[in-house]
Chain A
């Protein structure tokens, strides 16, 4: 149980275009989802916290107009990287909190590798 999927698993785009990444909880309802970014050989850095039906909360230094987050249902959150640039190339990982389990526990998706040319 507690499976999180992401789509796509990898994406290549041209500089200036927008890319949407989906995060789904497959077998549970997720009232809260988190988006992380991980650069090569580095740790995970929290970008934003997404609560179903409300606006996302962004960490300091993360541009909310560039990284648009929508959490429209209890099983789906999306991250849109707008006007992507090469420096946005990274591994984007989402996690979800199962409303039926202890709220400290986060289940992670497999990640989406973004390459901006």
Chain B
């Protein structure tokens, strides 16, 4: 089955700096890669996603890049703000496997004012 590795596990950045989180996946059939933000005690919130036919996607301060050859994808947050502090999860799914999500281990991001 699919295995998703996520790095780093913790990330501390100064407000205004950029944050980058990287994930690798094992199943070459995976074709959907969402990113979720989870605040303490809450459910995950979808912040951006990318499909395998696209190499990059951007939504305001958030961008995701995908390298299918290398089987890795990354989340980029620019101009970080204290409210960006949360745990971020990457995930991958394959339509050939029922679109079940496999999550990475999570990255705890702390934005210091």
Interface residues of A, Cβ cutoff 8 Å to B: 4, 6, 34, 42-46, 49, 93, 95, 97, 103-111, 113
CA distance A43 to B23 in the complex (A): 14
Within the complex, the shortest CB–CB distance from A41 to chain B, in Å, comes to: 8
B93 near A104: Cβ-Cβ < 8 Å: yes
Q: Choose one: A6, A93, A104; the contact of B32 (CB below 8 Å).
A: A104
Q: Is the CB of B89 within 8 A of A34?
A: no
**When chains A and B are docked, how far (Å) is the Cα of A111 from the Cα of B49?**
21
Bound-state CA distance A110–B106 (Å) is 18
* In-complex Cβ contact of B44 among A44, A45, A97, A105 (8 A): A44
Residue B99 lies at the interface, judged by CB distance under 8 Å to chain A: yes
Per-position contact with A for B102-113: 1 when CB-CB < 8 Å, else 0? 111110000000
* A111 to B43 alpha-carbon distance, docked (Å): 5
Q: Give the complex CA separation of A108 and B91 in angstroms.
A: 13
Shortest B113–chain A CB gap in Å is: 24
**CB <8 Å contact, A103 and B99:** yes
- Residue interface mask B63-104, A partner, CB < 8 A = 1: 000000000000000000000000001000101001111111
Asked if residues B89 and A44 are in contact (CB atoms below 8 Å), the reply is yes
| 10 closest Cβ pairs, A-B complex | A104-B32, A108-B43, A111-B43, A110-B43, A43-B103, A108-B44, A44-B103, A104-B99, A93-B43, A43-B105
Q: Give CA–CA (A110, B44) in the complex, Å.
A: 8
Instruction: Flag whether B46 is at the interface (Cβ < 8 A).
Output: yes
A36 smallest CB distance to B (angstroms): 8
